[in-house]
Chains A and B, each alone.
Chain A
Amino acid sequence: MSLSGIVIAVLYVVLVCTPAALAVFFGRPAGDFFYEAGRSAALIGFTILVLQTVLAARWKWVSRPFGLDIVLRFHRNAAILAVVLLLSHPLLLAAGGAGAELIVSLDVPWFIWLGKMALVLLLLNVLLSGLRARLRVAFEHWRFLHDIVGPVLLGVAFVHSWVTGGDLKSPVLRTAWVVLLAGGVTTFAWHRLVRPVVQRRKAWRVTAVTRETDDVCTLELAPPEGEAGPEYLPGQFHFLTLHRGRGLPHEEHHWTISSSPTQAGRVTSTIKAIGDFTATIPDTRVGDAVSVQGAFGRFSYQLHPGERDLVFVVGGIGITPVMSMLRCMRDRQENLRVLLLYANRTESAIVFRQELEAIAAGRYPLLRVVHVLSRAGEEWTGEKGHIDREMLERYIEGDLSRKTFYICGPGPLMKATVANLKAMGVKDRQIRTELFRLID
């Protein structure tokens, strides 16, 4: 991990533990070990919940050392940790002398009921997030619920702790608690309410819509007049919200930037129709407004300048970050050796085929392309089937320890390729992936 990553991780631990540490000096002990553990668990658990807003806010200084995909996965892991702590809170209090009545009795004061309600809301939020795909809840519906339940849960938990928390009678802890909640509320409001409005005012425009294959389209976007647009690395992704009107859905999605940063004044995203929303991409018109937020991600060869021998193992629309990287290598005339193993179902599904052949025919980079089709027609003379260990060993030449592997594609391809590479002796640090599904 980089130094900045270590600093952020340590800062996170310090922040979540600070209220419990302050309680040691400024709070008022009230019970035995278990009772006090229950109080500390609540102080830390609530702080974790507030800091979830920071983890989800896509701040560059937080995501840059780790990649936004990893930060959002940690957001999920932190939620589970908060659940463990906050479920432990009443159990430890009960074990420490408050008694089981605290949990089972219906005859408890209203602020205890608030605490129970906060726990129910937390469990609901976490379960809905974890089971979203299995319950077939659309992403936008899930996010709407998440954006409502999260702040309500924080508010209910805050009132519960404010009224019943003995430690929060201390002015120091009260101040810290208010500052904490204010920070969380401000961060949430900025991320979900203010920033979308700002981005809408600085909307980009669609300048071209190009059909690449039957179900893949490229959108070309230009920044507002007089602006250059943010810089990005080849292989990164951004969030787009298409403001098309015409009865078309209005949702925010993240897609890889398929253009190269060498192509100034415009960016492209190449999008496959895999769901209800992406099926409407071809209905986008030149001139439509687009809110753009980005770029994010660490899936870029430019973050590792010493690596000169690259292997890309790609499936389907996973070609997009690789295409951005190859275009950049071509335009910058970078003397890199690149093997691209590119899996698709059929020949007609291959995206950027001609451009890949042109790059391979050129001098920069030294590119070899191997197409692999799982449902090849009879006329196909290239590789058939799936990219397995035998195929990797056949095409990857030279010293494995000097190569870097970038893998991008459907989950089964990524999982199998990582397993195969490790079985071949490739080290973890040589393998680079990015989690395309940010929350599942």
Chain B
Amino acid sequence: MRETKLKRVTAVVAAAVLIVVAATAYLRARPDDAGSAADEGRRLVQANNCTSCHSMETQETKVGPGLAGILRRGKLPVSGREATRENVRRQIIEPVRVMPSYAGRLTEEEIEHIVDYLETL
């Protein structure tokens, strides 16, 4: 009967969709390298919701500037300081303009890991 066929078609469509979700996630997931400082930095960026305000994939501004290639630019986009690891670290602890400070919220080691990650973008 038609209602039975509808249930079967719905089940097949739902199963296909869930398989695609899992397959695309598997193909796109970044390899888990527990020893990598940059991976730890990526985890910290996600855990602290940095991506809410900063794009990691482009230079386009969300709330803050996009961070793709941030350490390969001549100057940092908001402070105008030279794009060095030290100035990026300084921006995280003593930000200019509206970015909140992460002093006291991140350890020095964690900030270093984040800068390691930003260097890979």
Instruction: Give a binary string over B19-59; 1 marks a CB under 8 Å from any A CB, 0 the rest.
Output: 01110111111101000000000110011010111011110
Q: Is the CB of B26 within 8 A of A16?
A: no
B66's nearest neighbour on chain A, judged by CB, is A169
A263 to chain B, nearest CB (A): 28
Partner of A24, one of B4, B27, B42: B27
A34's nearest neighbour on chain B, judged by CB, is B25
Q: Is the CB of B49 within 8 A of A29?
A: no
Using A74-B6, A418-B1, A428-B1 as known contacts, say yes or no to A37 and B49 having CB atoms under 8 A apart: no
A82's nearest neighbour on chain B, judged by CB, is B17
Number of A interface residues in the complex (CB < 8 A): 58
Asked whether any CB of chain B lies closer than 8 Å to the CB of A1, the reply is yes
Q: Is the CB of B2 within 8 A of A433?
A: yes
Q: Is the CB of B47 within 8 A of A97?
A: yes
How many Å lie between the Cα of A98 and that of B29 in the bound state?
14
How many Å lie between the Cα of A37 and that of B22 in the bound state?
6
Q: Which residues of A contact B52 (CB under 8 A)?
A: 108-109, 112, 164
B113 to chain A, nearest CB (A): 14
Asked whether any CB of chain B lies closer than 8 Å to the CB of A326, the reply is no
Asked whether any CB of chain A lies closer than 8 Å to the CB of B99, the reply is no
B30 to chain A, nearest CB (A): 6
Q: Is the CB of A29 within 8 A of B21?
A: no
The majority secondary structure among interface residues of chain A is helix
Q: Is the CB of B20 within 8 A of A20?
A: yes
Asked whether any CB of chain B lies closer than 8 Å to the CB of A73, the reply is yes
B63's nearest neighbour on chain A, judged by CB, is A109
Asked whether any CB of chain A lies closer than 8 Å to the CB of B103, the reply is no
Of B6, B9, B17, B58, most buried by chain A (CB within 10 Å of CB) is B17
Partner of B9, one of A28, A48, A74, A428: A74
Asked whether any CB of chain B lies closer than 8 Å to the CB of A352, the reply is no
Q: Which residues of B contact A66 (CB under 8 A)?
A: 2, 6
Tally A-B pairs: CB < 8 A.
136
Partner of B46, one of A74, A77, A98, A112: A98
A418's nearest neighbour on chain B, judged by CB, is B1
Asked whether any CB of chain A lies closer than 8 Å to the CB of B13, the reply is yes
Partner of B20, one of A17, A163, A164: A17
Using A31-B30, A70-B2 as known contacts, say yes or no to A13 and B21 having CB atoms under 8 A apart: no
Q: Is the CB of B28 within 8 A of A44?
A: no
Instruction: Give a binary string over A17-49; 1 marks a CB under 8 Å from any B CB, 0 the rest.
Output: 100110110011111111111011100100010
Of B4, B47, B49, B63, most buried by chain A (CB within 10 Å of CB) is B49
Partner of B28, one of A36, A70, A432: A36
A102 to chain B, nearest CB (A): 7
B5's nearest neighbour on chain A, judged by CB, is A1
How many Å lie between the Cα of A164 and that of B51 in the bound state?
8
B9 to chain A, nearest CB (A): 6
Interface residues of A in 62-76 (CB under 8 A from B): 66-67, 69-70, 73-74
A163's nearest neighbour on chain B, judged by CB, is B62
B79 to chain A, nearest CB (A): 21
Asked whether any CB of chain B lies closer than 8 Å to the CB of A242, the reply is no
Q: Is the CB of B6 within 8 A of A17?
A: no
Asked whether any CB of chain A lies closer than 8 Å to the CB of B109, the reply is no
Q: Is the CB of B6 within 8 A of A73?
A: yes
Q: Is the CB of B53 within 8 A of A109?
A: yes
B residues whose Cβ falls under 8 Å from a Cβ of A: 1-6, 9-10, 12-14, 16-17, 20-22, 24-30, 32, 42-43, 46-47, 49, 51-53, 55-58, 60, 62-63
A residues whose Cβ falls under 8 Å from a Cβ of B: 1, 9, 12-13, 16-17, 20-21, 23-24, 27-37, 39-41, 44, 48, 66-67, 69-70, 73-74, 77-78, 81, 85, 96-99, 101-102, 108-109, 111-112, 163-164, 166, 169, 298, 418, 428, 431-435
What 3 pairs across the A-B complex have the smallest Cβ distances? A97-B46, A37-B25, A36-B25
**A to B CB contacts below 8 Å, 18 in the list:** A12-B13, A13-B13, A17-B20, A27-B28, A35-B46, A40-B28, A41-B21, A70-B6, A81-B10, A96-B46, A98-B49, A98-B51, A99-B49, A109-B52, A163-B62, A169-B55, A169-B60, A433-B1
Given contacts A35-B29, A37-B21, could you give 13 more A-B pairs where the C-beta distance is less than 8 Å?
A32-B29, A40-B21, A44-B17, A81-B10, A81-B17, A85-B17, A99-B46, A109-B63, A169-B55, A169-B57, A169-B58, A432-B1, A432-B2
